[in-house]
A and B are shown apart, each in its own frame.
Chain A
Amino acid sequence: MTAASSSTIPFAEVLAAAESIVLGKAKPLRLALACLIARGHLLIEDLPGMGKTTLAHTLAKLFGLGFARVQFTSDLLPADILGVSVFDRAQSAFVFHPGPIFTEVLLADEINRATPKTQSALLEAMEERQVSIEGVTRPLPDPFFVIATQNPITHLGTFPLPESQLDRFLMKIELGYPDRAAERRLLAGGDSRQKLALLAPLAEGKERLQRAQREAAAIHVGALLLDYIQALLDFTRQSGAWQTGLSPRAGLSLLAAARAWAYLDGRDFVMPEDIQVVLPAVTGHRLLPANPLERTSSEETARRLIEAVPVP
C-alpha cells in the first residue's frame, strides 16, 4: 500500500552506498539526503574530522553532481566565491570568470570564519539561486545544494551567523562521534578518499534529481497534519521557553523536510512521525532557549516540543 514513488532513483541503494563511505551515520545521511530532495541547504555543526567533507563529497558523487569546496577564512572576499570579471585583451572586453559557487554541490567549510560581508554574499545566492555581478544576473545551476559547516568550539576570530542567516538553512545537523563498531570499520578499512574515487554514481543525471524534487514537493499533506504543524508552531510561540517562536518560514521548512522524508520512505503522504523525525534538524538552529545560559541540544528542544503537542 505504500505507493511506490515514481522516481527512478534507488534511494535505498544510494543510502547504502553512502553509508559504506560515511560509516555509522545513517540518520544524518538520510537527513542530508532529505535536505537535498527538499531543495534546502544544509548546515553541519561539528568538530573537525567528523567526516563533514566526506559526506558532502559522497552525496555529490552519488548523484553525479559537480562539487566544489571553499574554505572560508577571514580574508575571503565575496568575489572569491561569486567570481570576477577580468579584462581579456584578445577580446577587448571584460570576461566573467565564474567563482566556485557555480557548481551543483558547494561545500562552504567553516562558514563562520569569513566576514559577514562574504557570508551574506553566499547566503543571498543560496536564497535567490542566482548571482548578480556587475549588473548581470547569472542563474546558478539547478540543483544547487550548499553544505556549510561550522566549528562549534573555536569562537576566536569567528563571525557567528546571525539568526536571520541561520534561517536560510533548511536543516542543521550534527554528525557526532561514530560508535565503536563503525569506528573500527573506519580504522580497518582503507582510505575513504580512495573509496570515494571508486564510487560509481548511482543516480546520475540532473533531471532525475529534479524530478525527485518535484515529486517530493507534491506529496500529500492532509489537513490534520497542517493542524499539527500549526499546533507545534503555536506552542513555540506561546510557551515562553524560547526567545522567539518559529517563523512561518520555519513552518514551510518543516513541511518541505517532512515531505522529503516521507518521499525517501516511499510514501505518498506525510505522517506525524515524518514531522517529528525532521523536527530536531529543522528547528534546532531556529529556537534559542529563553534562558541564554541554558545549553540544550536540538534533540532535547525538539523532544520538549513534540511531547507538548498531541498527534492529530
Chain B
Amino acid sequence: MTETALSRTSLGGLWVTAALSLAPLALAQPRWIAFLSATLLALYALLWLYRLPLPSRRLVNALALAGSLAIFFEYRTLFGLRAGLALLCLFLPAQLFVTRRRREGLTVILLSWFLILARFIDDQTPTAAALAFFAALVSLATLSRCLAPALELRAHARALALLCAQSAPLFLVLFLFMPRVPGPLWGLPQDARKGVSGLAEEMTPGSLAELALSEAVAFRVRFAQTPPRHALYFRGPVLERFDGRTWRMAPARERPAPPLIASSPDLIDYEITLEPHRQRWLLPLDWPLEIPPDAHMRHDFHVEAKQAVLALRRDRFRSASTPPFVEEATEVLQENLRLPLGSNPRTQALAASWRPLPPAQRVEAALDHFRRGGFVYTLRPPPLGEHSVDEFLFETRRGFCEHFAAAFVVLMRAADVPARVVTGYQGGSHNPIDDTWVVRQADAHAWAEVWIAGAGWRRVDPTALAAPQRLEADLVAALPVGDPVPLFARAGFDWLRTLRFHWWALQNGWNQWVLGYTADRQRQMLARFGLQEGDWRHLVWFLGIGAALALSLLAWTASSRKPRLDPAQRLWRAFLRRLARKGEAPAPWEGPLAFAKRAALRWPEKAAEIERIARLYAGLRYGKLGEEALEALRRAVLGFHP
C-alpha cells in the first residue's frame, strides 16, 4: 500500500542512521566484516544516489545467509556477544536493501539503537558517548521523518527538541537511581580489551621504546600534595629473572612482603584512576605503604589486584617518598644475583674487577662508567645481538631506559651486588586545568634497584646519568636532536598542548562523574537524601514502585483522554478488522466512502454490500441517521464475510 511506503528522504535518513551506528562498531570487528559492512553501505548509497532499483529480496536473503555462514566459520558459533555483534554489523546494512515500507524502516532504526548501545561494551570514552548521542539524534530525526513524512523540517526539529527535553529528567533519574550492581553485569569476554598497549610481564630490548611513542593515557593521579616530578616513580612489575636477553618476573613467593614501615614523616596520599589494561597490577608510587583492600603486595613490593583490571578502577594509596628499611630473605637475594652462564662476558669481566670494593662503591663505579662512557639516550637504538648488554655497553652506547637499567643490573649482579629491574612509569604531565597528573604510555620507564646490606633496597636510575632531563622535564627534552618526536610534544604546538589539557580534563571529569558513579558513590548520594540503607536491592524496589506508579498514571490519563467509540464506529471497526484480515485497510486520512470504493474494486461481487455498509456508517457518524440505521448497520456488518 502506498501510504506506508517510505519517501526517498526517509530512506536517505535511514542510511545515515545505519552508517553512524555502524561505523564505530564495525571498525572493531574483524577486518573482512568491516569491509563487507562498508561495501554494503556504499552500494546502497550508490543505488540511492542514482535512483536505481533495489535488488530482489531473494538475493539479499542469500547474501545474509552467506554472511552468517562466514561468521559462523570465523567464530565457530552464532551466539555470544562477539558473533552476535558481527552478525548485526552485516544484517543492518543488508536490511537497508529490503527496506521499502515504514515497518522495515522501523526495524533499521531499532537495530541501529542496539548497535549504538553495543558500542559501549568496548568503548566508554566521552568521544564514544558524544558519537552515540549524535547517532541517536539522527536516528530519532529519521524516525520522526518516517512516521510523519508530511511534516516540515522545522516541525520535526521541534518534535525532536521536545522529545529530548521530556526525556532529560527521566534520563537523570535513571542515571542517579538505577541500581549499580558491584562489578560488571555480565562476564566480559576474555578478549574484551584486546590490543591494549601497556607494560608487560617481561622486557626485551626495544619493548618499552615502542610504548614511548604511544599517547594513550595509562592512568591519572590526584595528589593531596604533589611531590617533585623527579620523585614520581610509579612501581609496576619487578623483573628479577634474566636469560641473557629477556627479563621476566619471578613467580610470587609464599612469603608476602614484609610490612613497610615509614622511616620518615613525608608521606604522600593520592588517588589513582587506572585505565583498564587487562593485567592485575596496580601502579602505586614507590614505596607503597597502604594499598586497597582487594590487592596484595608481592615479595618485591609489586602490588597486584585480585582480578585483572578490565574496567576503569579508582584506588587510594599512601606511599613514603624515602625507602623504608626492610630485611630481605636470602633466597630473594640469591635470585637477584643470578646471571646466565657465559652471557655478556665483557660486562662480567668489567664488573668482576670491582669486586674488591665495598658494595656502595661498586654502585658508584658502575654509574661512573655510564657517566663517562659517552652514552646517548635515544628512542631508536640500534638492534642488539646475542650478548645484548656487552654490545650496548661497549659498542653501540645508544639506548633507551630499558637498556640502561638492564645493563646496570647485569653489571651489579656480576659485581656481586643483588640487583633487579623495576618497570613502571616515571613522571607524567601536570594538567593545570583540573590539577591532575596524566601518566601516558609514553611515560613508561625502567630503572634498577640494588640491595645494600644494612640499608635495604635502593633505587638507582642509570638513565638519569645519560639523560638527566628525562626526569626533570620529559622525554622530548632528553632526546637527541633529529630523533622523531611525538606530535603533541613538539615545540610550537603550545595551543595544541593547551587543547589537550582541556581534553584530558574533560576525560577525567567523565571518568570521575559518569563512569566513576559506582555503587559506592550512589550510596553516598542516597545518604545525602536521607536513604541510609540504600543498597541496590532497595533501589530496585524504589525504582520498580516508582515506575509502576508513573506508568499507571500515564495509562490512566491516556485512557481518560481517549474518546469513547460510538456504537456506529465500533461496528465500522469490526467491519474494517474483517477486511484487514484479507489485507485491505484504510489509510488514516481515508474517508469511509473512498475506502469502500477501493475495497469494492478488490471484492467486486461484494461491492453493493460494502458500499451499503459505508453509507450507513457515514450517515450515522456524520449525518443524522437514527436507531434503525444503526440496527441495519449491525446486521449488515454481522452478515458480511469477505
Knowing A238-B155, A240-B155, A269-B624 touch, does A307 contact B591 (C-beta < 8 A)? no
CA distance A240 to B158 in the complex (A): 11
- Among B155, B588, B623, the one with the most A-chain Cβ atoms within 10 Å of its Cβ is B623
CB-defined contacts of B618 to chain A, threshold 8 Å? 269, 271
Let me know if B587 and A271 touch, CB within 8 A: no
Is B629 an interface residue when CB atoms closer than 8 A count as contact? Answer: yes
Q: Which of B150, B594, B615 contacts A307 (CB 8 A)?
A: B150
Let me know if B587 and A307 touch, CB within 8 A: yes
Is B329 an interface residue when CB atoms closer than 8 A count as contact? Answer: no
CB-defined contacts of B616 to chain A, threshold 8 Å? 1
CB-defined contacts of A208 to chain B, threshold 8 Å? none
CA distance A38 to B255 in the complex (A): 105
Interface string of B608-622 (1 = CB under 8 A from A): 000000011011011
CB-defined contacts of A305 to chain B, threshold 8 Å? 150
Is A92 an interface residue when CB atoms closer than 8 A count as contact? Answer: no
CB-defined contacts of A272 to chain B, threshold 8 Å? 591-592, 622
Q: Which of A269, A270, A271, A311 contacts B588 (CB 8 A)?
A: A311
Let me know if B622 and A304 touch, CB within 8 A: no
Let me know if A222 and B625 touch, CB within 8 A: no
Let me know if A270 and B150 touch, CB within 8 A: no
- Among B3, B152, B616, the one with the most A-chain Cβ atoms within 10 Å of its Cβ is B152
Knowing A307-B587, A311-B590 touch, does A222 contact B622 (C-beta < 8 A)? yes
CB-defined contacts of B587 to chain A, threshold 8 Å? 307
CA distance A269 to B593 in the complex (A): 13
Q: Which of A240, A269, A308 contacts B623 (CB 8 A)?
A: A269
Is B589 an interface residue when CB atoms closer than 8 A count as contact? Answer: yes
CA distance A2 to B611 in the complex (A): 13
In the complex, which residues 585-642 of chain B have their Cβ closer than 8 Å to any Cβ of chain A? 587-594, 615-616, 618-619, 621-625, 629
> Which chain A residue has the least Cβ–Cβ distance from B596?
A273
Let me know if B155 and A269 touch, CB within 8 A: no
B489 to chain A, nearest CB (A): 52
Is A276 an interface residue when CB atoms closer than 8 A count as contact? Answer: yes
Let me know if A276 and B591 touch, CB within 8 A: yes
> Which chain B residue has the least Cβ–Cβ distance from A304?
B150
CA distance A273 to B586 in the complex (A): 13
CA distance A304 to B148 in the complex (A): 11
CB-defined contacts of B625 to chain A, threshold 8 Å? 1
**Count of B residues near A, CB < 8 Å?**
26
Interface string of A216-259 (1 = CB under 8 A from B): 00001010110000000000001111000000000000000000
B69 to chain A, nearest CB (A): 43
Is B154 an interface residue when CB atoms closer than 8 A count as contact? Answer: yes
CB-defined contacts of A304 to chain B, threshold 8 Å? 150
> Which chain A residue has the least Cβ–Cβ distance from B593?
A273
Q: Which of B152, B590, B591, B592 contacts A241 (CB 8 A)?
A: B152
Let me know if A267 and B589 touch, CB within 8 A: no
B591 to chain A, nearest CB (A): 4
Interface string of B412-454 (1 = CB under 8 A from A): 0000000000000000000000000000000000000000000
Knowing A271-B591, A271-B592 touch, does A222 contact B154 (C-beta < 8 A)? no
CA distance A1 to B636 in the complex (A): 15
Interface string of A265-309 (1 = CB under 8 A from B): 001111111001000000000000010000000000000111111
B497 to chain A, nearest CB (A): 46
Is A310 an interface residue when CB atoms closer than 8 A count as contact? Answer: yes
Knowing A271-B593, A309-B589 touch, does A240 contact B152 (C-beta < 8 A)? yes
Is B491 an interface residue when CB atoms closer than 8 A count as contact? Answer: no
CA distance A156 to B148 in the complex (A): 41
CA distance A35 to B317 in the complex (A): 89
B638 to chain A, nearest CB (A): 19
CA distance A308 to B3 in the complex (A): 11
Knowing A276-B594, A307-B589 touch, does A270 contact B151 (C-beta < 8 A)? no
CB-defined contacts of B593 to chain A, threshold 8 Å? 271, 273
B50 to chain A, nearest CB (A): 23
CA distance A239 to B154 in the complex (A): 8
Let me know if A306 and B622 touch, CB within 8 A: no
Interface string of B373-408 (1 = CB under 8 A from A): 000000000000000000000000000000000000
Knowing A276-B594, A304-B150 touch, does A311 contact B589 (C-beta < 8 A)? yes
> Which chain B residue has the least Cβ–Cβ distance from A268?
B623
Knowing A310-B589, A311-B588 touch, does A224 contact B621 (C-beta < 8 A)? yes
CB-defined contacts of A306 to chain B, threshold 8 Å? 589
> Which chain A residue has the least Cβ–Cβ distance from B616?
A1
CA distance A241 to B151 in the complex (A): 8
B434 to chain A, nearest CB (A): 44
Knowing A1-B629, A240-B154, A308-B150 touch, does A268 contact B589 (C-beta < 8 A)? no
CB-defined contacts of B589 to chain A, threshold 8 Å? 276, 306-311
CB-defined contacts of A222 to chain B, threshold 8 Å? 621-623
CB-defined contacts of A308 to chain B, threshold 8 Å? 148, 150-151, 589
CB-defined contacts of A2 to chain B, threshold 8 Å? 615
A290 to chain B, nearest CB (A): 7
Let me know if B623 and A220 touch, CB within 8 A: yes
In the complex, which residues 562-602 of chain B have their Cβ closer than 8 Å to any Cβ of chain A? 587-594
In the complex, which residues 102-131 of chain A have their Cβ closer than 8 Å to any Cβ of chain B? none
A152 to chain B, nearest CB (A): 26
A263 to chain B, nearest CB (A): 13
> Which chain A residue has the least Cβ–Cβ distance from B597?
A273
In the complex, which residues 317-338 of chain B have their Cβ closer than 8 Å to any Cβ of chain A? none
A291 to chain B, nearest CB (A): 10
In the complex, which residues 145-187 of chain B have their Cβ closer than 8 Å to any Cβ of chain A? 148, 150-155
Let me know if A271 and B152 touch, CB within 8 A: no
A117 to chain B, nearest CB (A): 38
CA distance A241 to B152 in the complex (A): 6
Knowing A239-B151, A240-B155, A308-B589 touch, does A1 contact B619 (C-beta < 8 A)? yes
In the complex, which residues 28-57 of chain A have their Cβ closer than 8 Å to any Cβ of chain B? none
> Which chain B residue has the least Cβ–Cβ distance from A219?
B623
> Which chain B residue has the least Cβ–Cβ distance from A265?
B593
CB-defined contacts of A310 to chain B, threshold 8 Å? 588-589
Interface string of A179-201 (1 = CB under 8 A from B): 00000000000000000000000
CB-defined contacts of A311 to chain B, threshold 8 Å? 588-592
B146 to chain A, nearest CB (A): 14
> Which chain B residue has the least Cβ–Cβ distance from A307?
B589
CB-defined contacts of B623 to chain A, threshold 8 Å? 220, 222, 267-269, 271
CA distance A272 to B614 in the complex (A): 13
Q: Which of B590, B592, B619 contacts A269 (CB 8 A)?
A: B619
CB-defined contacts of A220 to chain B, threshold 8 Å? 623-624
CA distance A308 to B629 in the complex (A): 31
CB-defined contacts of A269 to chain B, threshold 8 Å? 618-619, 622-624
> Which chain B residue has the least Cβ–Cβ distance from A235?
B150
CB-defined contacts of A276 to chain B, threshold 8 Å? 589, 591, 594
B468 to chain A, nearest CB (A): 69
A21 to chain B, nearest CB (A): 28
CA distance A14 to B32 in the complex (A): 74
CB-defined contacts of A224 to chain B, threshold 8 Å? 621-622
> Which chain A residue has the least Cβ–Cβ distance from B615?
A1
A124 to chain B, nearest CB (A): 36
> Which chain B residue has the least Cβ–Cβ distance from A1?
B619
CA distance A269 to B594 in the complex (A): 16
A221 to chain B, nearest CB (A): 8
Q: Which of B154, B155, B622 contacts A270 (CB 8 A)?
A: B622
CA distance A238 to B619 in the complex (A): 31
CA distance A264 to B446 in the complex (A): 97
A265 to chain B, nearest CB (A): 10
- New contact pairs (8) apart from A269-B619, A273-B591, CB-CB < 8 Å: A1-B629, A225-B622, A271-B591, A271-B592, A307-B589, A308-B150, A308-B589, A310-B589
Q: Can you name 8 A-B residue pairings with CB atoms under 8 Å? A: A1-B615, A224-B622, A269-B623, A271-B591, A271-B593, A273-B594, A276-B594, A308-B589
* Partner-A contacts on B (CB < 8 A): 3, 148, 150-155, 587-594, 615-616, 618-619, 621-625, 629
Nearest 3 Cβ contacts at the A-B interface: A269-B623, A310-B588, A240-B152
